[in-house]
Amino acid sequence: MPRKPAATVSPTVSPAASPSPPLAPTGTDLVPVAAEKPDNGAEAHAHHNLDRGLRAALARLTGGVSSHAFLESWADWAFHLSHAPGRQMELAERAQQNALKLMTLAMRGKSDAPPPFAPKPYDHRFHHPGWQSPPFLLWQQGFLAVQDWWDQATDHLRGLRPEDANRARFMARQMLDTVSPSNFPALNPEIIEATLASAGRNLTEGAAHVAQDMVKILTQTHDPAPEGFKVGQDLACTPGTVVFRNALFELIQYAPQTETVQAEPILIVPAWIMKYYILDLSPHNSMVRYLVGQGFTVFVISWCNPTAEQADLSLEDYRTTGVMAALDAVCQIVPDRKVHAVGYCLGGTMLAIAAATMARDGDDRLASVTLMAAQVDFAEAGELLLFVDESQVTFLEDMMWDQGYLDRPQMARTFSTIRSEDLIWSRAVQRYFLGQDDLPTDMGVWVADTTRMPARMHGEYLRGLFLENRLTAGRFAVEGRVIALKGISAPMFVVATETDHIAPWKSVYKTQLFTDCDLTFVLTSGGHNSGIVNEPGNPRSRFRLSHRPHGAFYVGPDDWFATAAPQAGSWWPAWRDWLQGQSSGPGPVPVTGAPDRGLAPLCAAPGTYVFQT
């Protein structure tokens, strides 16, 4: 892949602006490693690599989590609590109150009155009706009472750094989850009921599941897709053609399904943290198929699954050789037309960077910009910030430096621990104690189809965006010049999801704070994936929608939520209407590819990169 010459990165320039110097192990800015000890560079390099190798080994043992960061948070919490006698008295009173509530519950026996403690909304461990009967109810309530006390104990305390308070609460919750009564067969009424009903077969089948999963972990293998969920046949099956390919991505042009199409095509930029076909799942919930059926010409980027040989891919590579190369190809196939650009998750963040760069450089090829569950400001990035500080990022950088990439299972563990009650412990009980197989779903097959993140790109992303939040701080430069989201003049459609723990909706909402263009904002039900893959006809779907004209004053998320009325149904039709409103009207169907411009059809969709493992 062509690369630009090396250039020194100044303290105010984003990592995306410099493709060449190696990442420094410490510090807030990227500098050449040799600058750390110019008087004895060779010796410093050897010692430096020894340190990095040790950290990489430790990172593999801890799943990329820095023990220093969490120990520091515990120490900060304990120190401030030891100097807060008022908070200590408050916690003693809380413990007495919780104990009194438990005693009252035990003395009254079975009652129609609600118990004093309730699980969190995303905690499904105690949904079985057996948990409402003694003695299981008392065990459940005892666990929730302790959980309630720890939530109070790790609440924010004057002088305590908020990130340390949040991290201490997270660690307390992780430790408590290991001793939940739902994890023990003798204390879980659902397991007892299943064991009696099957004469213990559930336990033998669960043991077989344990053995199967251990083999997969040790051999790093994956189960093949179950019958009815084959990629290219059942999933990612919307008809189309690969019309462009480079080392980074394949560009798919989908076959039209209407006699005329909107003149402006759509280019979708998915995240390279996952396979693109989250947006082309089964025929009934494929966003791509829906858009094509509504009369749009749709192009989608299918990213490669990078290997260790591509460890040096940078954020700038993903912008130039990815997004901009795809846009150039689309403009060759559909000439003299602007393009509706759509970005999902990390792909949306990169699209925002590309759009701001285009605005700075006077490139007006975008008819509109749609960002789905994509953050541009990371100050309120939710519980993922628990895993982002200097120590944590250094650990991840060194692990990626050693292996060349960050593997998806390593990322998945982070996402799972944020909702460990449901994503780890509930699944473990169902699979290992109830003997239940995971029911195959299109979303589940996609989640298991893992991808990797290039070492350099991910380090730049963590430092430049997550850790230093440069994009909205006016410190993110592309090609040596700072970009600003306020320069984007194309109308925007921004989608957030209510229960997103990867891109919290209030963080996504802040896109309105850093832009001045005409902007429509949607908050939809569901999570990071289910809220986006939210096809019409889903009876549980709902959304809130508002329009902010160009130059209007900013309204905070809480005030907005209080006034935005919920609407039943999927947000897709509202988006379709908005896209049509930003288009110039229907026209003839474009040809597939542009053979006369070097963009001849290469193969049928879903292409070849989607099958890379």
Blockwise average pLDDT, block size 10, the chain, 613 residues: 36 36 33 35 62 71 71 92 95 97 87 87 90 93 96 92 89 92 96 95 94 82 84 96 97 97 98 94 97 98 94 94 98 97 97 98 98 94 76 74 66 61 81 90 89 89 90 94 96 96 94 96 95 93 96 94 96 98 95 94 97 91
Domain count, the chain: 2
Q: What is the pLDDT of residue 419?
A: 64
Residue 236 is encoded by which pair of tokens?
Answer: 């990612």
Return the closest-CA partner of residue 196 out of 2, 416, 22, 434: 434
**Contact at 8 Å (CB) between 249 and 326?**
yes
* Domain boundary residue, one of 182, 198, 214: 198
Same domain, 180 and 266: no
Provide the residue type at 427 as one letter: R
Strand partners, 341: 267, 369
**What DSSP string runs through 77-88?**
HHHHHHT-HHHH
CA 272, CA 275: separation in Å to the nearest integer? 7
In a domain, 75, yes or no: yes
* Domain boundary residue, one of 143, 166, 198: 198
Return the closest-CA partner of residue 537 out of 282, 320, 327, 311: 282
Catalytic residue among 237, 304, 331, 345: 345
Same domain, 368 and 484: yes
CA 399, CA 387: separation in Å to the nearest integer? 15
Domain assignment of residue 580, given as a range: 240-383+478-611
In a domain, 27, yes or no: no
Residue 447 is encoded by which pair of tokens?
Answer: 């989640």
CA triple 330-334-339, angle to 5 deg: 60
CB within 8 A of 178, min separation 6: which ones?
A: none
In a domain, 169, yes or no: yes
The pairs formed by 49-54 with CB atoms below 8 angstroms and a separation of 24 or more are 51/25, 52/25, 52/398, 52/401, 52/402, 53/398, 53/402
Same domain, 491 and 552: yes
Helix (H, G, I), strand (E, B) or coil at 602: coil
* Domain boundary residue, one of 198, 224, 255: 198
CB within 8 A of 129, min separation 6: which ones?
A: none
Q: What is the pLDDT of residue 378?
A: 92
CA 574, CA 580: separation in Å to the nearest integer? 10
CA 557, CA 332: separation in Å to the nearest integer? 40
Task: Identify the sign of the CA torsion 328, 329, 335, 337.
Answer: negative
In a domain, 337, yes or no: yes
CATH assignment at residue 369 = 3.40.50.1820
Under DSSP, the state recorded for 554 is P
| Total residue count of the chain as it appears in this document | 613
Helix (H, G, I), strand (E, B) or coil at 251: strand
Q: What is the pLDDT of residue 120?
A: 87
CA 271, CA 262: separation in Å to the nearest integer? 25
Quote the crossing angle between the two packed helices 85-108 and 136-153, to the nearest 10°: 170
Provide the residue type at 210 as one letter: V
**CA 606 to centroid of chain Cα atoms:** 23
Q: What is the pLDDT of residue 34?
A: 31
In a domain, 326, yes or no: yes
Task: Identify the sign of the CA torsion 411, 413, 419, 423.
Answer: positive
Q: What is the pLDDT of residue 26?
A: 33
Residue 557 is encoded by which pair of tokens?
Answer: 């998320």
Check if 345 is active-site: yes
CA triple 361-364-366, angle to 5 deg: 125
Helix (H, G, I), strand (E, B) or coil at 206: helix
In a domain, 16, yes or no: no
Q: What is the pLDDT of residue 63?
A: 65
Between the alpha carbon of residue 164 and those of residues 151, 169, 529, the distances in Å are 13, 8, 29
Same domain, 187 and 282: no
Cβ neighbours of 26 (radius 10 Å): 11
Same domain, 252 and 164: no
Q: Are strands 339-344 and 266-269 parallel, antiparallel or unpaired?
A: parallel
CB within 8 A of 471, min separation 6: which ones?
A: 14, 349, 352, 353, 376, 377, 464, 465, 485
Provide the residue type at 409 as one letter: P
DSSP H helices in 404-526:
408-418, 420, 427-428, 442-448, 455-460, 505-509
**Contact at 8 Å (CB) between 344 and 270?**
yes
Q: What is the pLDDT of residue 416?
A: 59
Quote the crossing angle between the two packed helices 67-82 and 390-403, to the nearest 10°: 170
Q: What is the pLDDT of residue 50?
A: 76
In a domain, 599, yes or no: yes
CA 167, CA 173: separation in Å to the nearest integer? 10
Same domain, 77 and 194: yes
In a domain, 41, yes or no: no
Strand partners, 569: none
How many CA atoms lie less than 13 Å away from 58 in the CB half-sphere? 17
Same domain, 154 and 299: no
> Which residue matches tokens 């070492």?
455
Helix (H, G, I), strand (E, B) or coil at 403: helix
Task: Identify the sign of the CA torsion 271, 506, 382, 496.
Answer: negative
Q: What is the pLDDT of residue 19?
A: 37
Same domain, 183 and 276: no
